[in-house]
């Protein structure tokens, strides 16, 4: 739909930016922190780009005051970060590390002192290694109680100061990469185990939300989901069905459970047929239904375009983690769908399609299917950036990307979608899990690379100033910049 005039952004719209503990903090073994599964996984040869680790990352642990000062200079309204579970509970449960809690308390207080709202993610992929060793982490139902216990500790400590909470970040990503693609810890490739671990994560998510409500924590809570809306490559009915399969399998399979406590029928039936369906025990569905979130957190990067894929068709393929354009392999789920290149979309050097209209489509689908407000908890462009001799970074491609996506949000608001805010990924440059440090997302350039930590000095990119202007105008500048 086209509007004669776009609606303005709400006055309290949260213009923010995001990060995750493992990707920025460093200090991996300092301040009483226990190891997480990522601390060990990155040490397995060949797992990450040029064997990079987050041991130092961008040293946010020591430089958080400098980073918050930059956020304040930009006028940021919200900063989303994650708490490392093993910094609070080095063994995953039991003894509490007060020094870890104090680090996050200092960060939260620093943000509040600068009128920046802290948005806290409880889990961004770094389960304590101790729980992995003890009972296989997400593969055991014990994780439900342990995650709830950890969440409760954090709720009690920070309630009143934090108004927006994110439970699990991209459950679909850490589960599929961890238990199917074997590219994230624990490096397993077994669908039966994957769906069991996923079911436990669903239960842990619901249990934490239930605890949040029982404790009377003021504020709102929800998961962040990595949603890439699915398109059919054309109007051939087999391809339209493939896109429906992809939407049900890749999106509804998670979001329906969050919102309604039930798996989509067609996907669950298909899982039963394969012998991969999780065991749903008495009481599970009741718990899931008690954990309906207040909002859907959306991490949006790209859409997917689908085509028919026969039962003996293409399966899992390799991702591009090197930044050499065109190296992503064809992939799909035999019998359900495969991914096809969309002829209308440009790609980044990591082969991620750029599709601002896809964001509007995703927002519309979520809003009309689930009728909840949406909080965009991540969106951004990973690219090579160059520090010039004048110490500047001219990232006009990032400004263009963010401007077009922010405008798509304004269009969705004009369509009637209720929005809480927009956190770009990311504030500073950071470790990009499997892609090293060369794939940069930040408004703030951090001088380091894979081989050399250098001085980790911060430099403001051109996009820093563009976002500053956009926040000050509450987005009113976007339409004119079109
Ligand atoms: C997401 C993830 C982030 C970040 C981002 C960009 O999947 O939540 O941690 O890595 O992708 O690559």
Q: Residue 482 pLDDT more than 80?
A: no
Catalytic-labelled residue, pool 25, 247, 248, 378 = 378
pLDDT at residue 143, as a whole number: 98
The CA distance from 465 to 455, in Å, is 23
The full set of domains in the chain, from first to last, is 14-473 (3.20.20.80)
> Distance between CA atoms of 23 and 27, rounded to whole angstroms?
11
pLDDT recorded at residue 67: 98
Q: What is the pLDDT of residues 158-173, one digit of tens each?
A: 999 999 999 999 999 9
Q: Rounded distance, CA 345 to CA 353, Å? A: 6
Give yes or no for a contact between 388 and 394, defined as CB atoms under 8 angstroms apart. Answer: yes
Specify whether the CB–CB gap between 36 and 88 falls below 8 A: no
Inter-residue contact 271 to 277 (CB < 8 Å): yes
- Confidence band, pLDDT 50/70/90 cuts, at residue 318: confident
**Does the N-terminal peptide bond of residue 426 adopt cis geometry, omega within 30 degrees of 0?**
yes
pLDDT at 377: 98
pLDDT digits (tens, 9 = 90+) for 3-23: 999 999 999 999 999 999 999
- Exposed, middle or buried, 279 (CB in 10 Å: 0-12/13-18/19+)? exposed
Chain centroid offset of residue 468 CA: 23
Ligand 1 centre to CA of 124 (Å) is 9
Phi first, then psi: give them for residue 15, nearest 5 degrees. Answer: -80, 110
Handedness of CA 158, 126, 49, 349 (dihedral sign): negative
> 105: phi > 0 → left, psi -120 to 50 → alpha, else beta; which?
alpha
Q: What are the tens digits of pLDDT across the range 262-306?
A: 999 999 999 999 999 999 999 999 999 999 999 999 999 999 999
pLDDT computed for residue 481 by the predictor: 84
| DSSP-derived 3-state class of residue 23 | helix
Q: CB under 6 Å to ligand 1: residues? A: 20, 23, 169-170, 173, 226, 299, 378, 382, 425, 432-433
Residue 236 Cα, ligand 1 centroid: separation in angstroms? Answer: 33
The pLDDT of residue 319: 86
pLDDT in tens, 356-414: 999 999 999 999 999 999 999 999 999 999 999 999 999 999 999 999 999 999 999 99
First to last CA, the chain: 18
Distance between CA atoms of residues 55 and 183, nearest Å: 19
Closest CA to 444 of 395, 403, 389, 404: 395
Q: Which of 19, 170, 319, 350 to mutate to test the pocket of ligand 1 (most atoms within 8 A of CB)?
A: 170
139 is known as an active-site residue? no
Can you read off the two tokens belonging to residue 333?
Answer: 């789920």
Under the banding of pLDDT at 50, 70 and 90, the label for residue 88 is very high
Q: What's the gap in Å between 300 CA and the centre of ligand 1? A: 10
Q: Is 192 exposed, middle or buried (0-12, 13-18, 19+ CB in 10 A)?
A: middle
Q: 186: cis peptide before it, omega within 30°?
A: yes
Q: How does 215-236 read in b/e, with b if 16+ C-beta sit within 10 Å?
A: eebebbbbbbbbbbbbbbbeee
Q: pTM of this prediction?
A: 0.97
* DSSP code per residue over 53-101: -SSSTT-HHHHHHHHHHHHHHHT-SEEEEE--HHHH-TTSSSS--HHHH
Instruction: Kindly report, residue by residue over 211-250, the tens digit of the pLDDT.
Output: 999 999 999 999 999 999 999 999 999 999 999 999 999 9
Which has the closest alpha carbon to 372: 425, 418, 421? Answer: 418
Q: What's the mean per-residue pLDDT of the chain? A: 97
């Amino acid at each position: 739909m086209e509007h004669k005039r776009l609606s303005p952004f709400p006055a309290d719209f949260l213009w923010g930016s995001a990060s995750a503990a493992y990707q920025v903090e460093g200090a991996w073994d300092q301040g009483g922190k226990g190891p997480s599964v990522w601390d060990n996984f990155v040490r397995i040869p060949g797992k990450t780009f040029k064997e990079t680790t987050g041991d130092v990352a961008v040293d946010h642990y020591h430089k958080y005051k400098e980073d918050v000062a930059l956020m304040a200079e930009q006028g940021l309204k919200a900063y989303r970060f994650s708490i490392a579970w093993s910094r609070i509970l080095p063994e995953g449960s039991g003894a509490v590390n007060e020094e870890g809690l104090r680090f996050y308390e200092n960060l939260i207080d620093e943000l509040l002192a600068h009128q920046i709202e802290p948005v806290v993610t409880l889990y961004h992929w770094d389960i304590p290694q101790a729980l992995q060793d003890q009972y296989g982490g997400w593969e055991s139902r014990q994780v439900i109680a342990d995650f709830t216990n950890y969440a409760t500790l954090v709720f009690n400590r920070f309630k009143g100061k934090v108004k927006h909470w994110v439970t699990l970040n991209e459950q679909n990503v850490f589960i599929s990469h961890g238990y199917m693609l074997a590219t994230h810890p624990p490096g397993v490739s077994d669908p039966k185990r994957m769906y069991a671990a996923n079911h436990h994560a669903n239960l842990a998510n619901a249990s934490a939300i239930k605890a949040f409500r029982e404790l009377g924590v003021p504020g709102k809570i929800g998961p962040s989901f990595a949603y890439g809306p699915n398109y059919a490559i054309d109007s051939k009915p087999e391809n339209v069905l493939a896109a429906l399969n992809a939407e049900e399998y890749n999106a509804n399979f998670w979001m329906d459970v969050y919102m309604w406590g039930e798996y989509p029928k067609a996907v669950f039936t298909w899982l039963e047929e394969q012998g991969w369906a999780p065991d749903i025990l008495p009481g599970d569905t009741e718990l899931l239904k008690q954990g309906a979130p207040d909002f859907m957190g959306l991490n949006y990067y790209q859409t997917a375009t689908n085509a028919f894929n026969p039962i003996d068709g293409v399966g899992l393929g390799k991702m591009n983690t090197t930044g050499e354009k065109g190296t992503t392999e064809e992939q799909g789920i035999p019998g359900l769908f495969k991914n096809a290149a969309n002829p209308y979309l440009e790609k980044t050097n990591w082969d991620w399609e750029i599709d601002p209209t896809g964001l509007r489509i995703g927002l519309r689908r979520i809003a009309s299917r689930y009728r909840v407000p949406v909080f965009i908890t991540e969106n951004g462009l990973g690219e090579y950036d160059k520090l010039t001799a004048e110490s500047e970074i001219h990232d006009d491609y990032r400004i263009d990307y963010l401007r077009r996506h922010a405008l798509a949000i304004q269009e969705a608001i004009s369509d009637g979608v209720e929005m809480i805010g927009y956190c770009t990924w990311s504030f500073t440059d950071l470790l990009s899990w499997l892609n090293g440090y060369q794939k940069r997302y930040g408004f703030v350039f951090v001088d380091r690379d894979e081989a050399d930590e250098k001085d980790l000095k911060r430099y403001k990119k051109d996009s820093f100033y563009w976002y500053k202007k956009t926040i000050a105008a509450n987005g009113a500048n976007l339409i004119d910049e079109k």
